[in-house]
Chains A and B, each alone.
Chain A
């Protein structure tokens, strides 16, 4: 959780100092919504409970970052051991089981970089690209023939001219 906390705290730091009251929802609703649109509307209920209203897209970003920071830390911890993690230990990341140790280390490194970029950019594009690329690779490696060819060195004799398939327009 050491890396998740700074993300959440950084978000909290950007919150405005204005704290709305429940009665403001009627009398200052435009100000409240404007603050929420900027991701900064705070409201304190009569019992002291604090609420924050923010754009759904920002909430999704924070949820995605939290989820993948947790996954990163879990995997990093598993890879500190000498043996490869088992599928049941990988949980949601069980799709990584087709990778060798070297690839798993590379995945963890790239995931870390993508998380830092997503956090800084407040955009998950780099993270999405990273996950998509590795998931796609895992699927391709599931098949023994695809795996053998993708991991083998280039042998010119293995390749032939592509023939022209015919078909209707």
Chain B
């Protein structure tokens, strides 16, 4: 079966900055409409905060970050997009950079595909409140 998505589950996502101290548990995806925003992340917030975000979502996306502020979005925007997905988490990378994501502990793109944990970045917002 031909894969119609640009996402390849066998290709690990890369981390901003150098090599991680631990191998990422979650693969990180980004909505294609926010790919440009994602690629601006280091330029916008600096490598330290970009790495903080990356380490959090790659290792432990379901728990509060010890440094950054997070909350669940409410209402329909906060509901899991389909079975297996988490609620939408709003992560404040900095005062002017916020990312919404959901995570899935056993994601697959094909019926018999390899189950693997992923984080899906839904939106990135660079406007300040």
Interface residues of A (CB under 8 A from B): 99-100, 102-103, 106-107, 110, 129, 132-134, 136-137, 139-141, 143, 145-147, 149-154, 156-169
CA distance A167 to B14 in the complex (A): 13
Which of the residues A140, A143, A152 comes within 8 Å of B73, measured between beta carbons? A140
B29 near A159: Cβ-Cβ < 8 Å: yes
Hey, which chain B residues are within 8 Å of A110, CB to CB?
74
A157 near B90: Cβ-Cβ < 8 Å: no
B74 near A162: Cβ-Cβ < 8 Å: no
B71 near A165: Cβ-Cβ < 8 Å: no
Minimum Cβ distance to chain A for residue B92 (Å): 9
Interface size class of B (residues with CB under 8 A): 35 or more
A154 near B42: Cβ-Cβ < 8 Å: no
Among B1-52, those with CB < 8 Å from A are: 4-8, 11, 13-17, 27-35, 38-43, 46-48, 50
B74 near A137: Cβ-Cβ < 8 Å: yes
Minimum Cβ distance to chain B for residue A93 (Å): 14
A-B contact pairs, 30 of them (CB 8 A): A100-B75, A102-B76, A107-B74, A134-B74, A136-B90, A137-B77, A141-B77, A147-B77, A150-B88, A152-B81, A154-B102, A157-B5, A159-B7, A159-B29, A159-B30, A159-B31, A159-B120, A160-B6, A161-B6, A161-B8, A162-B38, A162-B121, A163-B14, A163-B38, A163-B39, A164-B13, A164-B14, A164-B16, A165-B41, A167-B17
A137-B74, A160-B5, A160-B30 given; 16 more Cβ-contact pairs under 8 Å: A133-B72, A133-B78, A134-B74, A136-B71, A139-B129, A140-B77, A140-B123, A141-B77, A157-B6, A159-B30, A160-B35, A161-B6, A162-B30, A164-B13, A165-B42, A169-B17
Hey, which chain A residues are within 8 Å of B48, CB to CB?
169
A146 near B125: Cβ-Cβ < 8 Å: yes
B109 near A164: Cβ-Cβ < 8 Å: no
Minimum Cβ distance to chain A for residue B14 (Å): 3
